[in-house]
Chain A
Amino acid sequence: MSTPTFEYRKKEIPAKIQSIGIALLLIGLIIVICGYIVSPARMAFNNIIGFTFIISVVVGALFFVAIEYLAGAVWSAPFRRAAEFLTYGIYLLPLLVIPLFMNVHDVFHWTHPEVVNADKVLKAKAPYLNINFFVIRVIAFMAVWMLFQFIITRNSLKQDESKNQNLTTKNIKLSAVFVPFFALTISFTGIDWLMSLEPHWFSTIFGIYYFSGTMLASLAAITVCVVYLNENGYLVKGLNEDHYYSLGALMFAFTNFWAYIAFSQFLLIWYANLPEETFWFLQRWEGSWMIYSIGLIFVHFVVPYFGLLTQPSKMDPKRLKLMAIWILFAHYYDLYFLVMPTYSRSGVAFSWFELGFPALLVGLLMVLFYQISKRQNLVAIGDPKLKRGIEFRL
């Protein structure tokens, strides 16, 4: 066989991305600030959605990178940088969590000592659910993510220059350490930020539930970036529908995985019919929440399922990108389903407040992506798996 040589000449992505990003960022920022002035409680709940959403995207992307190293996957090597760029969002997490810490009493019932003292259940949970330990956990998790993100991406960047294969070996070892940390941190992030909104409620599957959404959101975000970059020729030649198909198949698989986990959680609670568990679902069946909850099945499962079911839909970049954007929306929808019924018991609350964080986050990610891509190669040109990755065929 002849050896096709890959050629990578760096082409900068247009500044338009940054200007759109800045516009969205400003709009989002204005809405968020106004929201915090008008109704701090409501904005804080939105902040949780936004915060967990961006954790899903950026930490999930780091997990994607780690899994690629760990499994020795070649197909994703040519566009691994897209995932790596997204992981830089981890450094934005402290910015997003500060307003939450200032309004923590509005969202978390268990942060009020007088409530906890009057409540037997919360008292029993207090050794875990107390504000000090909570802050320690949040900071520790971020520190772990930042640490691994810093070392893994630094090694990857070094390789661009040195072409040193030992750096890949190093990253494989790092990934092996990171993956168990990821499993724990992402589960406890889900439990801390989402499940503890209803401190009396518990579901042992909740960590995996959040993880399934995380995987979906990060895959979708990576897919959007990869399709955009590749269709406009910013990556190396040779990436084609086989790579798209693999991304689509992973999204399809995790769509099913999410449905499986979500249904398992529902079925067990429905079957056992214990009041201390069912109230969580009953809240989501109140008034217009019922329509919203039924909508979740369609938004998060039925539409992506049929959208990604056929082979052509996974190979066509346009349809794949559309489905990826839809899945990002579905993950936001899912987080809204998890968070907002605690704020608005009677029915779905939607107005300009809820638009603030999506705009802010999308803007942030776009600016971030532009800034990082200006400084770094868009393809990991030193990666020993790159050539095989480009030649990857189904």
Chain B
Amino acid sequence: MSAKILYGYSGIFDTPNQITHAAEKAVEHGYTKFDVSTPYPLHGMNKAMNLKPSRLGYVAFVAGLSFAVTFVLLLWWMNAVDYPVVYGGKPFFSFPAYIPLVFEVLVLSASISTVLAMLFVFFKFPNNSHPLHGTEYMKAVSSDKYGMLIQADDPKFNEIDVKKYLESVHAVKIIPIYWDNDEINHKHKILEPKFILFLVAVAILNSAMVYFVYNKVLYMVPFNWMMDQQKQSAQQHSLIFSDGYGMRQPVEGTIARGYLPYEYKGQPDLAGQKLVNPIPVSKASLTLGQKKFDTYCSPCHDYHGTGNSRLRGQFPNPPSLHSEKVRTWSDGRIYAVITEGQNVMPSYATQLNPDERWAVINYIRALQRAMNAKESDLK
């Protein structure tokens, strides 16, 4: 075992007055690295030891203020920029409502930062041990005695002087404190392969146990009552109806809204006599008619109904819609053509619903009038 290294000299005192006096004297002697331990906070000790005010207050101030400002920015970003939602008719960035929250965050962040700074910056945690641990000195000052310790790394430290000084201020007991050699030479065991292997084994065992417990021992059937309802779903076999279908047909003769059946199949002339355009000419109907005409009719009939097809001969060009024949046709006759088709032209009943067909007819009438304008139209 190598020689012990001196950490410092400690003195034990009986009364608070003695220790205060000793601290004052220590300052007079010019010791800077000394500390005083008392069983309870002793008022006036900071002055006797000539301690500067703690800098922890600044940590609290800076941390609290910066967290609070950040939090205001966060609230502003969330409530006014990224996802503005109106709450109770208040502005998006409503500062009065934030004050309680900001205050809470300020207090929380300031206190946590202060505690963490105290532990890790000022107390220098985590350290393995301290030479004072387990010494007679520590036992005495944590029950009913007052102690002072002068560290060996003090620039004015000198064993004989310090002993003399401690005697001069009436220390009851003077004990040298040494570093624990085992502690100094202590190696961290955390990186040894055996320990890492142990950790891995524990991790695997733990995961396996959790898996086993939650999936086998304590397994619970998932909550699925909503899926299993006592009702007939679409496409399901029915036990009630004789044909076995769950879905039912409407009553015979039912006509769905907007699906009036076409009564003049194969009789375009009769349709031309009987059918009347129910859609009055209006801007809306012409706009709709134009849109549908441009989409479905213009590929063959051309945008203006001239029959000059864009399909360039892949189909035979249809006749012009401006011929005398078409212009004198009633709306119902054109309706019959759109609905059933004529010659090469197929039926457009699936593409255009009845209202759209009538709108297209209105548009064709507008085209016809525009392409065959009379002198009187200019007036």
Q: Which residues does A use to contact B, with CB under 8 Å?
A: 1, 263, 266-267, 270-271, 273, 311, 393-394
Quick check: B99 and A271 within 8 Å, CB to CB? no
Residues of B within 8 A of A (CB): 17, 43-44, 53, 88-89, 96-97, 99-100
Contact among B17, B44, B53, B99 for A263, CB-based, below 8 A: B99
**Residues of A contacting B53 with CB < 8 Å?**
311
Interchain CA distance A266-B97 in the complex, whole Å: 10
Is the beta-carbon distance between A393 and B44 smaller than 8 angstroms? yes
Which residues of chain B come closer than 8 Å to A311, judged between CB atoms? 53
Chain A to chain B contacts (Cβ below 8 Å), 17 pairs = A1-B17, A263-B99, A266-B96, A267-B96, A267-B97, A267-B99, A267-B100, A270-B96, A271-B88, A271-B96, A271-B97, A273-B88, A273-B89, A311-B53, A393-B43, A393-B44, A394-B43
- Which residue of chain B has the shortest Cβ distance to A1 in the bound complex? B17
Alpha-carbon separation in the docked complex, A311 to B53 (Å) = 9
Chain A contacts of B97 at CB under 8 A? Answer: 267, 271
Task: Give, as a whole number of angstroms, the nearest-CB distance from B231 to chain A.
Answer: 46
**Min C-beta distance of B281 to chain A, whole Å:** 53
In the complex, number of A-B residue pairs with CB atoms less than 8 Å apart = 17
Q: Of all chain B residues, which has the CB nearest A312?
A: B53
A102 to B: closest C-beta gap in Å? 41
**A271–B97 CA distance with the chains assembled, in angstroms:** 8
In the complex, how many angstroms separate the beta carbon of B62 from the nearest chain A beta carbon? Answer: 14
Name the CB-closest residue of B to A311.
B53
Expressed in whole angstroms, the minimum distance between the Cβ of B368 and any Cβ of chain A is: 63
Q: How close is A388's CB to chain B, nearest CB, in angstroms?
A: 14
Min C-beta distance of B259 to chain A, whole Å? 53
Q: Report how far A389 CA is from B96 CA in the complex, Å.
A: 43
C-alpha spacing A311/B56, complex, angstroms: 13
A373 to chain B, nearest CB (A): 32
Contacts A267-B97, A273-B89 supplied; 6 other A-B pairs, CB < 8 Å: A271-B88, A271-B96, A271-B97, A273-B88, A311-B53, A394-B43
Report the minimum CB–CB distance from A224 to chain B (whole Å).
27
A127 to B99 CA separation, bound complex (whole angstroms): 39
Which residues from A are CB-within-8-Å of B43?
393-394
Whole-angstrom CA separation of A273 from B97 in the bound complex: 13
B99 neighbours in A (Cβ, 8 Å)? 263, 267
Chain B neighbourhood of A267, CB < 8 A: 96-97, 99-100
* Nearest chain B residue, comparing its CB with the CB of A2: B17
Task: Report B-chain residues with C-beta under 8 Å of the C-beta of A263.
Answer: 99
Q: Which residue of A lies closest to B61 (CB)?
A: A309
Q: How far is the CB of A177 from chain B (nearest CB, A)?
A: 35
- The list of the 4 closest CB pairs from A to B, nearest first, reads A393-B43, A270-B96, A267-B96, A394-B43
Q: How far, in angstroms, from A267 to B96 measured CA to CA in the complex?
A: 6
Contacts of A273 in B (CB 8 A): 88-89
Name the residue among B53, B88, B96, B100 with the largest chain A CB count within 10 angstroms.
Answer: B96
CB distance from B91 to the nearest CB of A (A): 11
CA distance A311 to B89 in the complex (A): 44
CB distance from A296 to the nearest CB of B (A): 15
What's the nearest-Cβ distance from chain B to residue A361, in Å? 34
By beta carbon, the residue of chain B nearest A263 is B99
Minimum Cβ distance to chain B for residue A270 (Å): 5
B156 to chain A, nearest CB (A): 30
**Residues on B with beta carbons closer than 8 Å to the beta carbon of A393:** 43-44
Chain B residues with CB below 8 A from A394, complex form: 43
Shortest C-beta distance, B89 to chain A (Å), equals 7
B residues near A1, Cβ cutoff 8 Å: 17
A371–B17 CA distance with the chains assembled, in angstroms? 44
